[in-house]
Amino acid sequence: MCALRAAAGLCSIAVMSSSPASTPWHPASWRSRPATQQPAYANPNELEQVIASLARLPPLVVSWEIEALREQLAQAQRGERFLLQGGDCAESFEDCESDRIAKKLKVLLQMSLVLLQGLRRPVIRIGRFAGQYAKPRSTDTETREGITLPSYRGDNVNRPGFTAAEREPDPKLLLRGYERAALTLNFIRSLIDGGFTDLHHPEYWDLAFLKHSPLQKAYQKIVDSIAESLDFFESMSGLRVHDANRVDFFTSHEGLHLLSEQAQTRYIERKEKWYNLSTHMPWVGMRTANLDGAHIEYFRGIANPIGVKVGAGMNEEWLQGLVQILNPQNQPGRLTLIHRFGAKDIERRLPELIQAVRATGSQVLWICDPMHGNTETTAGGIKTRRFDKILAEVEASFRIHEECGSQLGGVHIELTGDDVTECMGGARGLAESDLARAYRSQVDPRLNAEQALELAMLIARRSSGKSARINRV
Ligand code: PEP
Ligand code: CO
C-alpha cells in the first residue's frame, strides 16, 4: 500500500471523467466543497484526535459483504429480488440493548417473510441500524420559551435534552457511536450465525404483541404456507433450504457526518477501490445532495452501493446530474433511488423523474420511502404520520412505476419493534389522542411493529393480485 495512503488515507487514486466531477477523488476531497449539515465543534483539536482514533479502529463491515449486497441489488434492479430497508429514524445510544435490537430484527424478518410469500421473490433485508446516529435538521437551532440552543443532530453529535450542555456538539460521541454500532452488529451477526434468520424457525421471531393482534391469524396463515412450501421443496429435492447466512442482513445509515465517514473509508488493495467500511449501504439525503456539494463529492468515490433520497423538490436536471456523477460507469446495483414525495405529490412528480432517469440510459433501483413525505404536525404540536397515507404512497408507487414501464423494487420504512404510538391508523386505528401514550422518538415518528407488519401484508396482498384488505380477526 502506498505509504501516504496508509498514513493519512488521503492519497488520490481515482480520476472521474464526467463533468462536473472531473477532479481527482480522495476520501478528503469533499473538504474543498461546501458541506451542509455539519456540526460546529468548539474544540478542533479534540475533534481531530477523535477522527484519528476512528481512522485506526477496525472496520465494521468488509468489502466482500458490500459486494454481495451490490450483486443482490443488481438482481433487484432486474426484478429478481425485492428490497426491504427499515429501522429507526435515528438510533439512540440508550436503545442499544439486546431486547430492542432483537425486536427490530424480528419485525424486519416477519415483514420479509410476508413479502417473500406475497411477491414470490427473495427479499434483501437492510436495517437502518448499527450507525444511524446522525440527523440532518431543517434549522440549526431550536427555540423553546425564548431560549435558543443548537438543534439535536443525533446521538453521534449531541444529546436530545434541552440544555446548553447537552446540545453542545461533543466529538467523543463519535467514538461512542462507533462502539455502539459495533456492539449492535456483533449481536446481530451472532443471532444470524446461531440460526435466528432460518426460515424453518419463524417462531424465533414471535413478538409478544402479535398474540393479541387483529393480524395474528393472517400472519399465522402466511407462516404455515411457507412451512408447507419448504417442506414440499425439501421432500421433493432431498435438499435443505438454508437461510441462516451471515450476510443475510445488511446495514445502512445516512452518510451525513463527513469527517467520521471519511475516517472509516479504507482502501482495499486487492480490489483497488475505496470502501466506506462503517456500513454496507450509506445513503445521501436530499438536503445534502447538491451536485457540487461536499456529500456528493464524497459519495462519488466510494465503491459501496449507495442510496439517494429523491423528494418533491428535486427537478429532472438535478436528478440526472446525480445519476451521472454517482454512477458514471452505469454499474449494476450501484445506485438506489429512494423516492419520498408524499401521497400528495407522487402522482405529479414520479412519472417525470422516472423519464428523466431513463433518458440518462442508467439502470437504477427505485424504492419508495412512504414516510418522509407524509409527516404532519397535530394541532397539539406532535409530529406524526397517517398509516393510510403511507399505504397510499406505496400503492401509488407500484402503479405509477408499472404505468411508466418501470418497477418498484423495494420499500424504505421507519419502524421499531416496540409498541410505540407515534403514527396514527393501522389495524388498531390509533387516533391522535393515543399519540401521547407511548411516543418515544426524538426525531421522526415510526410505525410500531404491528403497523409495520400490516403494511408488509398489504403490499404482499396487492402484489399477489388480491385486494389490499386483510381479514382481521
Ligand atoms: C431520514 O431518512 O430520516 C431523513 C431525514 O430523510 P430525508 O432526507 O428523506 O428527509
Ligand atoms: Co426520518
340 lines ligand 1 (CB under 6 A): yes
**pLDDT tens profile 85-124:** 999 999 999 999 999 999 999 999 999 999 998 999 999 9
Pairing relationship of beta strands 14-15 and 24-25 according to DSSP bridges? antiparallel
Task: Give the residues of the chain that fall short of pLDDT 70.
Answer: 1-21, 242-247, 463-473
pLDDT at residue 223, rounded to an integer = 84
Given a contact cutoff of 8 angstroms between Cβ atoms, the answer to whether 286 and 315 are in contact is no
Q: How far is ligand 1, taken at its centre, from the CA of residue 199, in Å?
A: 32
Nearest in space to 374 (alpha carbons), one of 405, 401, 407, 396: 396
Q: How far is ligand 2, taken at its centre, from the CA of residue 454, in Å?
A: 20
Q: How far is ligand 1, taken at its centre, from the CA of residue 89, in Å?
A: 8
442 lines ligand 1 (CB under 6 A): no
134 lines ligand 1 (CB under 6 A): no
pTM of the model: 0.92
d(CA 101, CA 206): 14
Buried b (16+ CB within 10 A) or exposed e, 127-142: bbbbbbbbbbbeeeee
pLDDT at residue 199, rounded to an integer = 80
pLDDT at residue 242, rounded to an integer = 65
266 lines ligand 1 (CB under 6 A): no
* Coil, helix or strand at residue 90: coil
372 lines ligand 1 (CB under 6 A): yes
Sorted by where each starts, the structural domains of the chain and their CATH numbers stand as: 29-463 (3.20.20.70)
Give DSSP secondary structure letters for 161-230: SSSHHHHS--THHHHHHHHHHHHHHHHHHHHHHTTTT-TT-GGGG--GGGGG-TTHHHHHHHHHHHHHHH
Residue with cell 405529479: 348
Percent of the chain at pLDDT > 90 equals 80
* Residue nearest to ligand 1 atom 10, measured at CA: 372
**Atom number, ligand 1, closest to the C-alpha of residue 285:** 8
pLDDT at residue 21, rounded to an integer = 64
Nearest in space to 280 (alpha carbons), one of 85, 145, 442, 114: 85
* Residue nearest to ligand 1 atom 7, measured at CA: 285
d(CA 298, CA 293): 9
Which ligand lies nearest to the CA atom of residue 443 in the structure?
2
pLDDT at residue 240, rounded to an integer = 77
d(CA 305, CA 336): 8
